[in-house]
Structure 1
Amino acid sequence: MGGNVLVSGAGIAGTALAHWLGRYGYEVTVVEAAPALREGGQAVDFRGEAHLTVLERTGVLERLRALDTGGRAGRYVDRTGRQRLALPAEFTGGEVEVHRGDLVRVLYEAGLPHTEYLFGDSVTGLTETAEGVRVTFRTAAPRTFDLVVGADGLHSTVRRIAFGPEERYVTHLGHYAATWKLPNHLGLGRETVGLNAPGVLAQLGGGHPDPEVADAFVVFAAPRLAYDRRDLGQQKALIAERLAGLGWETPAMLASLRGAEELYLDSISRADVPRWAAGRTVLLGDAACGATIGGMGTGTAVVAAYVLAGELARHDGDHTAAYAAYERLLRPYAERCQKGGDRCGRFLAPGRIGGWLRDAMLNRPRVMAWMLAEGQKAAAMDLPDYPAALAHR
């Protein structure tokens, strides 16, 4: 057991995997393009026994419970502020909800004692040899690793290098999502309030650790857009175009957008990779089976990291057998969860008729209860107890 592993990406999947591999005796290096941990992002949630069991076995469940936002109830309103739909906190927040930055920091700290981090760098080349995978980096010197894991998101660099161009694997689902911080001028607590216009959602959310800060969240329907993901001004212009003339609180949102120093904008998309492994390189999390929103990607990421590390340990580092077992066990679960992402854009930013149908259905308590139960079923999985099994070897 053991060996040295390169993990590309210090997000949820990458930090969770680093922790588990270190526990099983691997030497782990994580390379991350950002200069430090990414602290921003929306709240993320866990639901169902499989998610909570993995967090408990990881040793972070109680710490995350202490950071739990408590979830946020949601309201949808029309341009006059009149309520159209109310959603309970458990619909959007699951059983444990934390800010994404808090989750990444907790996972990072759990694995830090046995993990080397290379921030501000990225993979530029992968060459498989008899000794392993020779990796070149944008700034660091080339190194050889026994295994390489692409945990670098929907736009994975490792997937592009080892498997082929992104357009082979990533399907645009017809919507874009954006988020940024702004002053909490409505005094929102643990709640969100959003305006729907046909094909657009403009939402404000409270519950931030700083009560003076709120989250802006925008979803809009659009075909695949060509823009520079590093050009903040270009991205702001795309969002402003969609919010123009909507009324309600959108003028204040646009004013804050102009001064925002950090902004997330991306398509709502799905990754479908026919095989998750190529030689000694394997994909994890969104790089393998991502769904931008609504596909339980956070829970899938921590479950996938647990399974991949457990199978590598169980097969004593035989990566061919371990990768096959990992994919065989996890793919049906991941694809079942992904289906929620296919509908997410149309749910959040429906057309005129779709919005009327959504609100009419979800205002019925029985329909809401059914949807909550379906979410629990989708997150269910029979998990191997790797720590217990490996402790007796």
Structure 2
Amino acid sequence: MTKQTRQTPQTPQTPQQKNLSHLSVLISGASVAGPALALDLARLGARVTVVEKAPDLRGGGFAVDFRGHVHRTVLTSMGIWDEIHRRQTHMGRQTVVDTDGNPRVDLPAELMSGDVEIFRGELARIMYERTKDEVEYVFGDSIATLGEDADGVDVTFEKGAPRRFDLVVGADGLHSNTRRLVFGDESRYLRFFDHYVAGFDVPNHLALDRTGRVYSEPGRAAVVGNYDGDPDRAGALLVFRSEELSYDRRDVTAVKRILAERFAGMGWELPAVLKALEEADDVYFDAIAQIHVDRLVKGRVVLLGDAGYGATMGGMGTGVAIVGAYVLAGELALAGGDFRVAFAEYESRIRDFAKGCQKISGNAGPFFAPPTERRIRSRDRMYRLLASRPLARFFKRMTEKAATDIKLREYPF
């Protein structure tokens, strides 16, 4: 277990700021939502601890993007907008190809990558670097039990000593341990969308330079892209239609076997991709799914990001998580730390916004892997239309509509 001790911030208070130094908050999860909330709460003086099951901060991951004025407002307020731009992917066009690699349609960068795109791991690193001296990070541990009374929450950990906090935030992803402990089994909240997705590194044998290739056959698709300019490395994304599978997502050997079986005999560059899969050390694999909970709050425990309103892909989950953290911290500030008032306001303000973003993610699987050749051709025709300048602007406005469909209050950061 790696532990970094929190130091009390010395930032002077301005008259507009609300001091939350009386509030102790445990955040479960150090991916994106957790560090975002830690950053916002630390600015308000709260005593924050982040516990993360992984042994250290997770790097890599998929590229995530931000769109519209709401994302920009929040990221600017957090002080990380410029740093995100410095570390962005600069991803260019992605090209849909046939089995021989011949181009069928080009997709402009703004359609796929928003206003700015960055690797999830890079984003987490930025927020961690901004908070590591003011926030206590505990790596290699996780919450075992939660016991709430009128004055706080008693927490036991898998490894560390028991502790007590005023509030607990579940920011631990689609398969949230906090949600399971407090709100019930995942099966009550996870909606499966008939597809699975996998991601892993592959050699850059196509010599791509911040561009990507998309290839689809009925019910399955492969994307190979170079997002960071590394001439030797690329990333592969595999999507396939399936009934719900029974498997252990932590069993990498079993996951590789599933993928090898599902993509056997596929054309284009799949033999090389599957060869790289055999040698891959780190493979992401999960169902394309969404989380729908009845409530985001139970007593002194609240859900944030994917734990409360996640979508595997296509639902702007990172942007929603960042906005959600901003609203949650801001409402705690306005309420002077009164969690009952703050949690109710947070839930009221973020729920419809999150649902709106989830709506656009429901077709992520068929978008990449249409079920028939006819649907593939139809999708490609739509791509060609969207790639035209007038419709590209229209499509950009449509995707931004969900990302900006929330009125932000002025919070005393």
Q: Normalising to structure 2: TM-score of the pair?
A: 0.92
Residue identity in the other structure for 1:275: R
Matched, 1:356 2:381: no
C-alpha separation in 2, matches of 1:347 and 1:207: 21
1:375 to 390, 394, 399: 399
Aligned equivalent of 1:178, options 198, 202, 209? 198
Give SS of 1:294's match: coil
What amino acid maps onto 2:182 in structure 1?
Answer: A
Write the deviation string for residues 312-350 of structure 1: whole angstroms up to 9, x where unpaired: 111011111100100111111111011111111111111
Question: Residue 47 of structure 1: which of 67, 72, 93 is its match?
Answer: 67
Q: Residue 195 of structure 2 aligns to a residue in which SS?
A: strand
- What is the Cα deviation at residue 209 of structure 1? 4.8
Structure 2 residue 271 is the aligned partner of structure 1 residue 251: yes
Match of 2:224 among 200, 204, 207: 204
Determine if contact 2:48/2:136 at 8 Å carries over to the other structure.
yes
Deviates more, 1:294-303 or 1:130-139: 130-139
Query: Secondary structure, in 3 states, of the residue corresponding to 2:159?
Result: coil
Structure 1 partner of 2:85: 65
The CA distance in 1 between the partners of 2:295 and 2:187, in whole Å, is 16
Q: Deviations over 1:36-71 (max 9, x none)?
A: 111021111001000011110000111111111123
**Mapped partners of 2:141, 2:62: distance in 1:** 25
Deviations 1:101-160 (A, max 9, x none): 110000111122211111011111111023311111100011111000000000000000
Write the mapping of 1:1-393 to structure 2, written as runs, cut at 5 A. 1-2=20-21, 3-352=23-372, 353-364=374-385, 365=388, 366-380=390-404, 381-386=406-411, 390=412
Instruction: Give the match's secondary structure for 1:346.
Output: helix
Q: Is the 8 A contact 1:148 1:282 kept in 2?
A: yes
Inter-partner Cα distance in structure 2 for 1:202 and 1:362: 17
**2: CA distance between counterparts of 1:135 and 1:378?**
37
Q: Distance in 2 between matches of 1:316 and 1:115?
A: 20
Separation in 1, partners of 2:319, 2:76? 13
Tell me the distance in 1 between the aligned counterparts of 2:383 and 2:216. 15
Structure 1 residue runs of 5 or longer lacking an equivalent are none
Query: How many residues matched?
Result: 388
Q: Note closer, same or farther for the CA distance 1:227–1:39 as it changes in structure 2 (3 Å cut).
A: same
Other structure's SS at 2:361 match: helix
Residue pair 1:71, 1:92 contacting (<8 A) in 2 also = no
Could you tell me which amino acid in structure 2 is paired with residue 60 of structure 1?
Answer: I
SS of equivalent residue, structure 2 residue 294: coil
- Match of 2:401, as an amino acid? K
The answer as to whether partners of 1:270 and 1:290 remain within 8 angstroms in 2 is: yes
What is the letter of the counterpart of residue 148 of structure 2?
Answer: E
- 1:273-311 CA-to-partner distances (Å, cap 9, x unmatched) read 111000000000000100110000011111000000000
State the 1:362 CA deviation: 2.1
Q: Classify the secondary structure of the residue corresponding to 1:15.
A: helix
Per-residue deviation, 1:369 = 3.5
More deviation, 356-365/140-149: 356-365
Superposition CA RMSD, Å: 1.1
Q: CA deviation at 1:367?
A: 4.2
For the Cα contact (< 8 Å) 2:51–2:139, is it kept in 1? yes
More deviation, 223-232/8-17: 223-232
SS class of match (1:126): strand
Decide whether the 8 Å contact of 1:304 with 1:330 is kept in 2. Answer: yes
Q: Secondary structure at the match of 1:114?
A: coil
Instruction: Point out where structure 2 has 5 or more consecutive residues left out of the alignment.
Output: 1-19
Say if 1:153 and 1:286, in contact at 8 Å, map to a contact too: yes
Moved more, 242-251 or 369-378: 369-378
- Contact kept? 1:71, 1:90, Cα under 8 Å: no
